[in-house]
């Protein structure tokens, strides 16, 4: 398999954006793909089987870890979102908002024993929202991947990252969903899943 390379134009765009937003250069780059469902529509939450695949559209982030305890995310087309990792309980006012994803994913990794730290991120995505390619799952998996590798030595398996993304969407963001979207994005490949055990496919 060829190593993943961010296209130079996207990398340059996000580098410039990061310098503008945070007055520094990014030190790390992360990506999480969207997904397409091949078979098993909605069976991931009905104890069925699913065939799905990651697609070649992704959400990418230019990132720099910080010591502030704040997660600051500037997503293309959206205002800056800031979450203080000192408070990881759900916030009712954040339901349905980007901050809920960030706080929920951070809380999930804290639950694994990860010592959450702050980071700055500029995010851009070519996974179109509302197109059935799971842009929200890609964003959740992206956040989880950032925390996993900045602060957890990559110890979380893809399925653990996916479960945290699902929890963030269900509990913090307030949207019911199964695990197929996050699992496919986290695995980053063609995936066959059997959900006879909903929590452990």
User: Hey, CA dihedral for 192, 46, 159, 53, is it positive or negative?
Assistant: positive
- Identify the three-state secondary structure at position 7: coil
The pair of three-digit structure tokens given for residue 87, joined into one six-digit string: 């408070």
The pair of three-digit structure tokens given for residue 4, joined into one six-digit string: 């993943």
| Catalytic residue list | 181
Cβ atoms within 10 Å, residue 98 = 20
The pair of three-digit structure tokens given for residue 141, joined into one six-digit string: 């998996």
H-run or E-run covering 41: none
Angstrom distance (rounded) from CA 54 to CA 67? 33
Cβ atoms within 10 Å, residue 108 = 26
CA neighbor of 197 nearest in space, from 51, 54, 49: 49
């Amino acid at each position: 398999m060829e190593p993943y390379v961010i296209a130079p134009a996207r990398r340059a765009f996000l580098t410039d954006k990061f310098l503008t937003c945070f007055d520094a250069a990014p030190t790390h780059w992360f990506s999480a793909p969207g997904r397409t469902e091949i078979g098993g529509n909605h069976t991931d939450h009905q104890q069925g089987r699913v065939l799905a695949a990651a697609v070649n559209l992704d959400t990418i982030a230019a990132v720099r870890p910080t010591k502030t305890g704040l997660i600051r995310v500037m997503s293309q087309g959206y205002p800056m979102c800031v979450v203080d990792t000192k408070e990881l309980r759900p916030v009712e006012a954040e339901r349905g908002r980007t901050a809920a994803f960030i706080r929920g994913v951070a809380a999930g990794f804290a639950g694994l024993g990860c010592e959450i730290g702050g980071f700055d991120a500029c995010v851009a995505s070519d996974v179109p929202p509302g197109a059935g390619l799971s842009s929200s799952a890609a964003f959740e998996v992206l956040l989880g991947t950032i925390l996993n590798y900045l602060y957890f030595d990559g110890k979380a398996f893809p399925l653990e990252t996916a479960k945290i993304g699902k929890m963030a969407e269900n509990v913090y963001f307030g949207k019911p969903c199964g695990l197929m979207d996050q699992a496919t994005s986290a695995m980053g490949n063609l995936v066959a899943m059997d959900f006879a055990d909903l929590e452990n496919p």
